[in-house]
Structure 1
Amino acid sequence: MKTEKTTKPSSGYTMLIVFLVLLAATLTTIIKLELYPLIIAIPFILAILPGFFIVNPNGSKVLVLFGAYKGTVKDNGFFWANPFYTKTRISLRARNFDSDKVKVNDKIGNPILINVILVWKVKDTYKAAFEVDHYEEFVRVQTDAAVRKLAGSYPYDNFDDEQAEVTLRSGMHEVNEALEEEITERLAIAGIEVTEARIGYLAYAPEIAGSMLKRQQAVAIVAARKKIVEGAVGMVEDALTRLSEDEIIEFDEHQKASMVSNLMVVLCGDKEATPVINTGTLHN
């Protein structure tokens, strides 16, 4: 497999002087109506003119002579080369690619919407020009394929797969690294260097988004209730211990159970408790 080779063409300013001298000589022969010098000068002028080209900063020109690759010009400036060269412009600047949102299934089959933001640039102009057709389209298609493969390798979250250590939602660092490696491997054939690849958008597909939102809310409520119950149990335990140690009142098992029940209802309830004043004895 061939790789890129850089070349340094002739300065365009030197050939521009030659061109202007020939042009001046041609105008002189036209004025003097001299036919033979004119016949000789015009082909040279027409041959020199197509050889001029400009390479802008972070740009390049791929030179091809009758199907044979002759090199790539990466130096910026004004140059002149063989007028029979085909000069193809390839930008070396970094480019952003914000892919469309695609609907795919994650590892456990949930439909999700995902897109990727990619920063890339051409590193090997030979591969970009000759190893693939339309390297910009190649970047788009292969990025889309990499995103689909990545989404199928991880669950969106660990609701259904609690053993999953890395998910699309929580393991963004690891997922982005895996995405960048996958895209880099796919685009290497086209001479593309991946500067950065990361997930730009991630959400459940509309048909299940409502259900998943309710599920997340339910999980949050259960987790909050668990914390409330743990705190209430600790508070009840402290209350019974303090009452017993300070010998404020003696409870039998039935009274303890009743007190625990009342305290748990008060501490774990959604609404504020309404006190009931007991005007009789503790046993009533």
Structure 2
Amino acid sequence: MSHERSVKATHGLIALPLLVATIPASIYGMVWAAHQSIGWLVIASAIVCFATFVSLFGLFTVEPNQGVVLTLFGRYVGTCRETGLRFANPFYSKKKISQRVRNFESGRLKVNELEGSPIEIAAVVVWQVVDTYEAAFEVDDYENFVQIQSESALRQMATRYPYDMHEGVEIALRSHGEEIARELRREIQDRLAKAGVEVIEARISHLAYAQEIAQAMLQRQQAGAIIAARARIVEGAVGMVHMALEQLRQGGQVELDEERKAAMISNLLVVLCSDRAAQPVINSGSLY
């Protein structure tokens, strides 16, 4: 596979004054030769004038972070990266390729993640051309190639990971942003290497369940959150009950038999685990 090679072009500020001065000089020589009836000098002056006019098409400009691909009758000559006004063979075909850093955001793609749930996913890809030969000749339209291959890589990557974390899962799309970004960048770079493109960064910009299951998944997440919160509350309540019984036993203020302990534990757990404020009830009689 061929790669980019640099070519130097003459500084345009040197060639331009010579060309501009040659055209009026050749016209003057052609008119003077015609008055003097010197036929060969008329022809020579006309040829010089025409050649100088054609040579003006050899002038071109190169902007910063831009490469101009030069070809001669279909053969690749090289790439000029020297900025400013430049002059080269007027018969060279010149194609300008920007090497500035660019980015685009993919559309929202609907794919099935690892567990089969439909999700919506989109990504932002930051990229730039690093090899103008490959960008110009290895692919038909490198900008369109970057977009299509990036979306294809995003689809492929999304099918290898679940949306959310649960037992048995090491990496998930929602919870492991850095790992997923590195994997996505590697996946896109592998596909764009032949186009002379370097992927600088790739990150997920949108991630959500598809609309048809979004409500059900939201309810599942809410249920999981409620269960986790309840488990934490019960764990704390049991610890507080154990601490209360232990302090009563050590202080010796109250002697509780097993039935009274069970009643106290039940009451404390109801108070501590309830999602509503407890309503106190005053017992004016005996404990029994």
**What TM-score does the superposition give when structure 1 sets the normalisation length?**
0.95
Distance 2:229 2:46 in 1: 95
**Equivalent residues of 2:23, 2:53 under 8 A apart:** no
Residue aligning to 2:263: 258
Tell me the secondary structure at the aligned position of residue 165 of structure 1.
coil
Partner of 1:174: 179
- 2:19 pairs with 1:13: no
Aligned residues: 281
1:2 counterpart residue number = 2
* Aligned: 1:139 with 2:139: no
Contact 2:30 2:46 in 1 (8 A): no
What letter corresponds to residue 24 of structure 1 in structure 2?
P
2:119 maps to 112
Q: Answer yes or no: is the 8 Å Cα contact 1:97–1:118 preserved in 2.
A: yes
Which position in structure 1 is the counterpart of 2:37? none
Question: Which amino acid in the other structure matches residue 201 of structure 1?
Answer: H
Q: Distance in 2 between matches of 1:149 and 1:36?
A: 68
How far did 1:39 drift?
Answer: 2.3
The residue number in structure 1 matching 2:39 is none
Gap regions ≥5 residues in structure 2: 35-41
Partner of 2:100: 93
The DSSP-based 3-state class of the residue aligned with 2:171 is coil
Q: Name the structure 2 match of 1:199.
A: 204
Shift of 1:158: 2.4
- CA distance in structure 1 between the aligned counterparts of 2:198 and 2:154, rounded to whole angstroms: 17
Measured against aligned partners, the alpha-carbon deviations of 1:4-60 in whole angstroms (never above 9, x if no partner) come to 100001122222122112211134246547343542233212321111100011111
Correspondence 1:231 to 2:259? no
Instruction: Output the CA distance in 1 between the equivalents of 2:256 and 2:11.
Output: 104
Instruction: Show structure 1 runs of 4+ deviating over 3 A.
Output: 29-33, 35-38
- Measure, in 2, the Cα distance between the counterparts of 1:51 and 1:163: 65
Give the distance between the partners of 1:31 and 1:211, measured in 2 at CA: 90
For 1:34-53, list aligned pairs within 5 A: 34=34, 35-53=42-60
5+ residue gaps, structure 1: none
Structure 1 stretch 243-252 or stretch 85-94: which is displaced more?
243-252
Matched, 1:77 2:84: yes
Q: Structure 2 CA distance, aligned partners of 1:229 and 1:67? A: 78
The residue type equivalent to 2:284 in the other structure is T
Please state how far the C-alpha of 1:203 moved relative to its aligned partner: 1.0
Q: Secondary structure at the match of 1:273?
A: coil
TM-score by length of 2: 0.94
For 1:252 and 1:22, locate their aligned partners in 2 and report how far apart those are by CA, in whole Å: 119
Mapped contact 1:111–1:205 kept (Cα < 8 A): yes
Q: What percentage of aligned pairs have identical amino acids?
A: 49
Q: Which residue of 2 aligns with 1:215?
A: 220
More displaced, 220-229 or 244-253?
244-253
2:195 equivalent among 186, 190, 197: 190
Q: Shift of residue 90 of structure 1?
A: 0.3
What is the RMSD computed on CA atoms of the aligned residues? 1.4
Partner Cα distance (1:181, 1:120) in 2: 13
Q: Distance in 2 between matches of 1:19 and 1:236?
A: 99
Give distance in 1, aligned partners of 2:10 and 2:175.
Answer: 56
